[in-house]
């Protein structure tokens, strides 16, 4: 009896040691099979109960059952401890330090036109201009008539207009030839004072290295009770300085004709063309940048603004051309060629905001 008890104690000590030292699930399972499996040591001892005398069985039964339960529980506890340790190890090895700086992946680029539009919106936004919008398909009235183009006037054809088929009422829409119709839309919906810009696509039948049938313009309009050519000049000079990031700029106004402004002018900026590059702000040359003028009283009338009380100025220029002048792409047609290599070369990182070093003066 004692010998058997000693045997049981030795068996339990051995099993406990093996359970404690099992380093993984497989080793632990091997112990389980050796102890409690069909051929296991404890199972074999349980089988001997049947051949015992009732007294013996009464003595051994509870001992064996106790052993079986304790070993079973020890295995369950060890299994849980191993699972916990495995999870801890995995968490430690897979830990991600979210405070590390991100590694930028440059998968796309901002098109120069979008970049320049951002810059323009920012410069004029800082000067208090609101951003307006209008559709690409315009009425003849907004694109021409309200802007004081006389009916049948050759100026309508001068714009190399894309006309759409007339509708049932005989109205012939156009692909807007300039962003100036957004002036009309703004004045019709909003009372002065007005201070707005609009940027967008414009269309003319034209195609060579400096012209594409679709291109982009920016338009500006200011209407108030006291607005002068001097305000126009000051605003445009501030714009040129900010956009080209130069401290000094010299401009000149050449008389011109636009139906919607009186007087009208084209503005040139002093530049240097030596070395095949255009440098704005210095030199002996002039670069035509934009058209502008004081809004024609007829335009104000056409848009429901009293020309006795209000005047204003307007200006318009090509966004693509502004991009070329600042960032130096040789051919405008490539802008719209959808060549990913071109975009990779001339595009801008999406991680940078409109990169203006100087801000506005
Ligand atoms: N709409 C003109 C064009 O496309 C540009 C222009 C000139 C706009 C003078 C203006 C302006 O607002 O006042 O050629």
Q: Is the same domain home to 320 and 214? A: yes
The rounded Å distance from CA 63 to ligand 1 centre is 105
Number of domains in the chain: 2
Mutate to test the pocket of ligand 1, among 315, 318, 320, 322 (most ligand atoms within 8 A of CB): 315
> Which pLDDT value is given to residue 75?
94
> Which pLDDT value is given to residue 354?
59
Kindly state the tokens that stand for 43: 């199972």
Please state, in angstroms and rounded to a whole number, the distance separating the CA atoms of residues 199 and 318. Answer: 9
> Considering the domain boundaries, does residue 104 fall inside one?
no
Max CA separation in the chain (angstroms):
128
The pTM (predicted TM-score) of the whole model is 0.71
> Considering the domain boundaries, does residue 361 fall inside one?
no
* 293 close to ligand 1 (CB < 6 Angstrom): yes
Helix (H/G/I), strand (E/B), else coil: 6? helix
Q: Is the same domain home to 48 and 174? A: no
Mean pLDDT in consecutive groups of 10 residues from the start of the chain, 361 residues: 72 93 92 91 90 90 92 94 93 89 80 95 96 97 95 76 91 95 98 98 90 96 97 96 92 95 96 84 90 98 98 97 89 90 90 55 37
Q: Is the same domain home to 319 and 179? A: yes
> Considering the domain boundaries, does residue 118 fall inside one?
yes
> Which pLDDT value is given to residue 328?
84
Mutate to test the pocket of ligand 1, among 158, 160, 177, 180 (most ligand atoms within 8 A of CB): 180
Kindly state the DSSP code that residue 212 receives in the 8-state scheme.
-
* 316 close to ligand 1 (CB < 6 Angstrom): yes
**Residue 257, domain CATH:** 3.30.930.10
Q: Considering 37, 63, 93, which residue would you say is the last residue of a domain?
A: 93
Distances (CA, A) of 98 to 90, 329, 334, 336: 17, 41, 41, 40
> Which pLDDT value is given to residue 96?
87
> Which pLDDT value is given to residue 361?
37
Q: Is the same domain home to 126 and 87? A: no
Structural domain boundaries enclosing 62? 5-93
Residue ID of nearest Cα to ligand 1 atom 2? 316
> Considering the domain boundaries, does residue 315 fall inside one?
yes
Q: Is the same domain home to 201 and 327? A: yes
**C-beta neighbour count of 11 within 10 angstroms:** 16
> Which pLDDT value is given to residue 360?
40
> Considering the domain boundaries, does residue 352 fall inside one?
no
The rounded Å distance from CA 286 to ligand 1 centre is 19
Distances (CA, A) of 12 to 30, 63, 68, 235, 254: 15, 11, 9, 95, 107
> Which pLDDT value is given to residue 3?
53
């Amino acid at each position: 009896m004692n010998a058997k008890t000693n045997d049981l104690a030795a068996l339990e000590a051995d099993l406990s040691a093996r359970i404690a030292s099992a380093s993984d699930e497989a080793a632990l399972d091997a112990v389980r099979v050796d102890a409690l499996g069909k051929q296991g040591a404890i199972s074999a001892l349980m089988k001997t109960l049947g051949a015992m005398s009732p007294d013996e069985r009464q003595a051994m039964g509870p001992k064996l059952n106790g052993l079986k339960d304790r070993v079973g529980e020890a295995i369950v506890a060890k299994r849980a401890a191993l699972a916990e340790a495995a999870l801890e190890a995995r968490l430690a090895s897979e830990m991600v330090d979210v405070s590390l700086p991100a590694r930028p992946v440059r998968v796309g680029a901002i098109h120069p036109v979008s970049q320049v539009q951002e810059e323009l919106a920012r410069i004029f936004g800082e000067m208090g201009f609101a951003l307006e919008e209008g559709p690409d398909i315009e009425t003849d009235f907004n694109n021409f008539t309200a802007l004081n183009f006389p009916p049948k006037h050759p100026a309508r054809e001068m714009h190399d207009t894309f006309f759409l088929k007339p509708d049932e009422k005989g109205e012939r829409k156009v692909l807007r030839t300039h962003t100036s119709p957004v002036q009309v839309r703004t004045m019709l919906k909003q009372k002065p004072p007005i201070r707005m810009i609009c940027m967008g696509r414009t269309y003319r039948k034209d195609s060579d290295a400096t012209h594409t049938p679709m291109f982009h313009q920016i338009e500006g309009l200011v209407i108030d009770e006291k607005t002068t050519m001097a305000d126009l000049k000051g605003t445009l000079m501030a714009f040129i300085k900010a956009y080209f990031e130069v401290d000094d700029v010299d401009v000149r106004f050449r008389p011109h004709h636009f139906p919607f402004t009186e007087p009208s002018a084209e503005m040139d900026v002093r530049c240097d063309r030596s070395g095949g590059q255009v440098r704005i702000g210095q030199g002996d040359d002039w670069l035509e940048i934009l058209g502008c003028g004081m809004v024609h009283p007829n335009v104000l009338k056409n848009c429901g603004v009293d020309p006795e009380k209000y005047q204003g100025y307007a200006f318009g220029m090509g966004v693509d051309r502004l991009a070329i002048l600042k960032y130096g792409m040789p051919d405008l047609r490539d802008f719209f060629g959808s060549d990913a290599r071109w975009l990779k070369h001339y595009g801008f990182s999406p991680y940078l905001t409109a990169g203006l070093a100087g801000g506005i003066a």
